[in-house]
Structures are given as C-alpha cells and as structure tokens.
C-alpha cells in the first residue's frame, strides 16, 4: 500500500514526485510508456519548443544551455531522463492505468500489470493523449494520404505533390512552415491567426509574461477569460513569412 500513486511521468508527474521525494513520502509513479520523455520523443523530428529553457526546467534542476534559448524535443527528453536519475524517482513503466475506484479511504488502481492500492492518487496523465480527427476526414478520397500531427515525423512520410495542413495551432504552423520549404503547401484555419514574437529585446516573451504577471492570471478572472477566448497565439513569425 502506497501513500500516493502518481499516474504519468511527464513534466507534471515528475515535478510532483520531486516534492514527494523531498518529504520522504511513500509513493510510486505509474507510466504506460517504456521510458521517460516518450510524449516528446514521439513528436515530429524538427520540433523546437516555443517556451525557453528557463521555463521548461522542473524544480531543483536547471536545463543546461542559453536560458532564453529554445530547446529541441530531444534536449527535453535528455533532461527528463537526467531529472529522474538525479532525484532517483520511483517509476514503474509499461503500466497503463485502465480503471480506478475509491472505497473506505483507499484507491484501487487497476493497470495492465495488476492492481495497486494507495491512500491518494495524483493524475498527471497529460492533456494531449488523444488526437482529435474531425469527422470530415473519413469523406476524403482514399487516394489522398492523410496523417494526424501525432503521427507526422518529417516530410519523407508524405507522397509526392502538394499538401494541405489543416489546423492553425503551433503544431500546424510549424509543420506547414517545414513543408513549405520543399513543396506547395496550403493551410486551412478556422479563425484569424494572432502572432506574437518569440523574443522581445533578447528576452523570451514568456519572461515578459512572467514579469507582467500574465503567466499567473486566474483563469476565472476577467483578464483570464479574455485570454482564453482569444485562443492560442502562434509564437514567432515564420508562418507569417511562409504564407
Ligand atoms: C506538438 C506539441 C508541442 C508542444 N510544445 C510545447 C512548448 O513548446 N512548450 C510547452 O510548454 N508546452 C508545449 N506543449 C505542451 C506540453 O507538451 C504539455 O503541456 C506538457 O508536456 C504537459 O506535461 P504533462 O506532464 O501534463 O503531460 P505529458 O508530458 O503528456 O505526460 C503524461 C504522461 O502520462 C502517461 N500516461 C497517460 N495516460 C496514462 C495511463 N492511463 N496510465 C499510465 N500512464 C499514462 C503518458 O505516457 C505520459 O508519460 C506541446 C505539445 C504538443 C502536442
């Protein structure tokens, strides 16, 4: 019986584990992946984060390199592995939580590796686990090769010819820019894009957000709601230039 089970060994789960370890708590992290950093490892090859190193570091360990610079996804994977090693965080991999129930103060966590029990559970399983594929995708001719951004690695996966990138979040924007360098690329978006600079006066925009308190705005406040309504901006002007 554990005091706490943490589900997920991504940034959220590892940062939580850091603090649990600090107070010598009896806990275990369960993760369905085979190693730490899999969420990042599986993303497209050219992925460079739009958040600078200083804001990707977890508590207790600096992410080496220029603090206002942007890490590649491989750098993040390496860092997360180093983090687990440094703080000797207890993780059981290849263990997928499929069900959980709570009775008389005890959580029973069912996994593909058996049952675990604990007094508390922290769910840190991430927000990007299931790709959303719009229903119209199934009406498109079978001759058109379709791929979701979660399966996209690099342009070599695609057939020859032009390509339509559907969706204007940061993933769509980065993939469209990459493809536009080597083939005719069309871009479909449902609303006007808001662009923000990545860097202002040699400092990451997230540093300015932090200084002006924007990173800590309450999501239920007037300002918080206004930011959410606007949707995610595209960081940097590469897409604007490519268009
Ligand atoms: C393409 C892309 C680019 C991004 N770029 C940035 C960026 O530049 N900067 C930034 O700050 N954020 C970025 N994000 C968002 C960022 O990845 C997430 O906010 C962050 O990784 C969330 O961390 P997490 O620990 O909550 O989840 P994750 O890192 O997703 O970790 C969740 C963990 O839970 C495990 N898990 C899930 N379900 C189960 C289960 N049932 N049983 C056991 N284990 C389970 C998974 O294996 C995984 O290891 C990007 C996201 C995407 C998709």
Cβ–Cβ < 8 Å for 107, 117: yes
Q: Is 53 in the pocket of ligand 1 (CB under 6 A)?
A: no
Number of Cβ within a 10 Å radius of residue 22: 11
Residue ID of nearest Cα to ligand 1 atom 29: 10
Decide if pLDDT at 228 tops 90: no
Nearest to 164 by CA among 151, 181, 183, 139: 183
* DSSP letter (8 states) at residue 68: T
Q: What is the pLDDT of residues 122-173, one digit of tens each?
A: 999 998 888 989 899 999 999 999 999 999 999 999 999 999 999 988 899 9
Q: Which two tokens stand for residue 167?
A: 């969706």
203 and 236 part of one domain: yes
Ligand 1 closest atom vs CA 14: 25
User: Do 208 and 237 have their domain in common?
Assistant: yes
Distance, CA of 169 to CA of 25 (rounded, Å): 39
Six-digit token pair at 74?
Answer: 């491989």
Query: Which protein residue has the closest C-alpha to ligand 1 atom 44?
Result: 31
Indicate if 31 and 80 belong to the same structural domain: yes
Sign of CA dihedral 199, 202, 204, 207: negative
Say yes or no: 151 and 223 in one domain: yes
Range of the domain at 217: 143-242
Mean pLDDT for 3-26 is: 96
Instruction: Kindly state whether residues 154 and 116 are assigned to the same domain.
Output: no
**Ligand 1 within 6 A of CB of 37:** no
Ligand 1 pocket member 72 (CB < 6 A): no
Relative to the CA of 50, which ligand 1 atom is closest? Answer: 8
End-to-end, the C-alpha distance of the chain in Å comes to 56
In a domain, 44, yes or no: yes
The CATH number of whichever domain residue 33 belongs to comes to: 3.50.50.60
Q: Are residues 98 and 151 in the same domain?
A: no
Q: Which of the residue ranges 57-61, 65-69, 174-178, 228-232 would you say has the lowest mean pLDDT?
A: 228-232
Residue 22 resides in a domain: yes
- Asked whether residue 111 is assigned to any structural domain, the reply reads yes
Q: Quick check: is 213 in a domain?
A: yes
**209 in a structural domain:** yes
Same domain, 89 and 119: yes
Q: Percentage of residues in the chain with pLDDT exceeding 90? A: 85
Average pLDDT value for residue range 219-226 = 86
Predicted confidence band at 215 (pLDDT cuts at 50, 70, 90)? confident
Ligand 1 site, residue 84, Cβ cutoff 6 A: no
Is residue 135 in a domain?
no
d(CA 195, CA 180): 18
97 lines ligand 1 (CB under 6 A): yes
Last-in-domain residue among 123, 156, 187: 123
Query: Do residues 17 and 115 both lie within one domain?
Result: yes
Query: What number is the average pLDDT over the span 82-98?
Result: 97
Instruction: Give the number of domains in the chain.
Output: 2
Q: Are residues 234 and 157 in the same domain?
A: yes
| CB distance 50 to ligand 1 below 6 Å | yes
Provide the whole-model pTM: 0.92
Q: Please give the distance, rounded to the nearest whole angstrom, from the Cα atom of residue 220 to the centre of ligand 1.
A: 24
């Amino acid at each position: 019986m554990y005091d706490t089970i943490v589900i997920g060994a991504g940034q959220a789960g590892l940062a939580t584990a850091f603090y649990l370890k600090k107070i010598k708590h009896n806990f275990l992290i369960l993760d369905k992946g085979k190693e730490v950093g899999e969420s990042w490892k599986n993303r497209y090859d050219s992925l460079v984060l739009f958040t600078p190193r200083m804001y990707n570091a977890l508590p207790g360990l600096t992410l080496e390199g220029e603090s206002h610079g942007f890490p590649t996804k491989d750098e993040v994977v390496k860092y997360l592995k180093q983090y687990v090693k440094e703080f000797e965080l207890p993780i059981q991999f290849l263990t997928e939580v499929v069900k959980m129930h709570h009775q008389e103060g005890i959580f029973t966590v069912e996994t593909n590796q058996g049952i675990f029990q604990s007094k508390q559970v922290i769910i840190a399983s991430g927000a990007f686990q299931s790709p959303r594929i719009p229903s119209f995708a199934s009406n498109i001719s079978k001759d058109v090769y379709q791929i979701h951004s979660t399966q996209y690695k690099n342009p070599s996966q695609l057939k020859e010819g032009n390509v339509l990138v559907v969706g204007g979040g940061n993933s769509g924007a980065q993939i469209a820019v990459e493809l536009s360098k080597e083939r005719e690329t069309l871009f479909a978006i449902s609303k006007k894009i808001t662009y923000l600079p990545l860097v202002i006066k040699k400092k990451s925009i997230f540093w300015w957000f932090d200084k002006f308190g924007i990173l800590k705005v309450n999501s239920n406040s007037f300002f918080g709601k206004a930011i959410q309504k606007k949707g995610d901006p595209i960081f940097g002007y590469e897409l604007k230039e490519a268009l």
